[in-house]
């Protein structure tokens, strides 16, 4: 039979639309999980799936049975492990980038206040750590500190991190234009740190950025420098102007 006479399927516009929608959902999911431990778990599940298929092809009955049990009950375990991410993803399901334009003014005001606070704290060599919440909520870490509901301001941040404040040792959590927690304890990174001069604040900042997509700012009490932890990486020696620009871009 000639090649041109083969009954090849002709894609309909609905098929193309469906492919684009599925590709977009997968892209957003990977971007949502990027830089978190959840992405590493996802890759681990993919490795198990490939191993399961290989065991089926090679007819390794014991391995196939064991992995089948893992996948059967693993679905329920995944719902528990990924509960915060799933809750946040569902809450943002109907959110469009168009609506984020309306928050540009709010981000600019917050960026100015935080940048001014960091400049004051750096000038006085006062240690501080501020976590900016993004897609993944930081509710689990609020329980270790004091819940607040106050508009972000440079004066309030400087007061919280004052050495005489009972909340100065912990982290401040910022959600939108609100300070939602202070004196919060963050998880320390378990990764080896090459620079042993880094203190607990820097290790906590990296630790939180490894488990969430938060942007964590640190003022060193020893060197008075400003650092940024994001996606498990630490960038040191930032200027307040660069911090301001980074904060304006949060959520875009």
**pLDDT confidence tier of residue 246, bands split at 50, 70 and 90:** confident
Asked if residue 1 has pLDDT above 70, the reply is no
pLDDT number for residue 171: 94
**Buried/exposed code over 22-43 (b: 16+ C-beta within 10 A; e: otherwise):** eeeeeeeeeebbebbebeeebe
Q: What is the pLDDT of residues 33-86, one digit of tens each?
A: 655 556 666 777 788 888 888 888 888 888 888 888 877 777 677 667 666 656
pLDDT number for residue 81: 64
Q: Regarding predicted confidence, which is higher, 89 or 46?
A: 46
DSSP-based three-state secondary structure for 87: helix
Q: Average model confidence (pLDDT) for the chain? A: 80
pLDDT number for residue 123: 92
pLDDT number for residue 27: 76
Q: Regarding predicted confidence, which is higher, 139 or 193?
A: 139
pLDDT number for residue 98: 39
Q: What is the pLDDT of residues 174-183, one digit of tens each?
A: 998 899 999 9
The answer to whether 57 and 4 are in contact (CB under 8 A) is: no
Query: Which residues make up the CATH 3.40.1700.10 domain(s) of the chain?
Result: 99-248
Quick one: the chain helix, strand, coil %, rounded to 5?
55, 15, 30
CATH superfamily label, 99-248: DNA integrity scanning protein, DisA, N-terminal domain (3.40.1700.10)
Residues of the chain with pLDDT > 90, as a percent, come to 28
Q: What is the pLDDT of residues 96-118, one digit of tens each?
A: 443 444 456 677 888 999 999 99
pLDDT number for residue 124: 92
């Amino acid at each position: 039979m000639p090649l041109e006479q083969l009954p090849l399927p002709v894609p309909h516009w609905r098929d193309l639309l469906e492919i684009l929608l599925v590709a977009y959902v997968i892209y957003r999911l990977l971007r949502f999980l990027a830089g978190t431990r959840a992405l590493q778990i996802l890759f681990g599940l993919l490795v198990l799936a490939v191993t399961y298929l290989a065991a089926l092809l090679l007819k390794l009955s014991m391995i196939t049975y064991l992995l089948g049990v893992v996948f059967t009950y693993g679905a329920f375990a995944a719902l528990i492990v990924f509960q915060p991410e799933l809750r946040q993803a569902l809450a943002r399901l109907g959110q469009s980038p168009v609506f984020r334009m309306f928050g540009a003014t709010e981000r600019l005001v917050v960026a100015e206040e935080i940048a001014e606070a960091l400049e004051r704290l750096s000038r006085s060599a006062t240690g501080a750590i501020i976590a900016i919440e993004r897609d993944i909520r930081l509710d689990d870490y609020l329980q270790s500190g004091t819940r607040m509901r106050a508009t972000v301001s440079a004066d309030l941040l400087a007061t919280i991190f004052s050495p005489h404040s009972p909340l100065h040792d912990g982290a401040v959590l910022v959600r939108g234009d609100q300070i939602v927690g202070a004196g919060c304890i963050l998880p320390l990174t378990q990764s080896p740190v090459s620079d042993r001069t880094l203190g607990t604040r820097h290790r906590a900042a990296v630790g939180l950025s490894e488990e969430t997509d938060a942007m964590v700012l640190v003022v060193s009490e020893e060197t008075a420098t400003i650092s940024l932890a994001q996606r498990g990486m630490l960038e040191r020696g930032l200027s307040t102007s660069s911090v301001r620009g980074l904060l304006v871009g949060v959520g875009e």
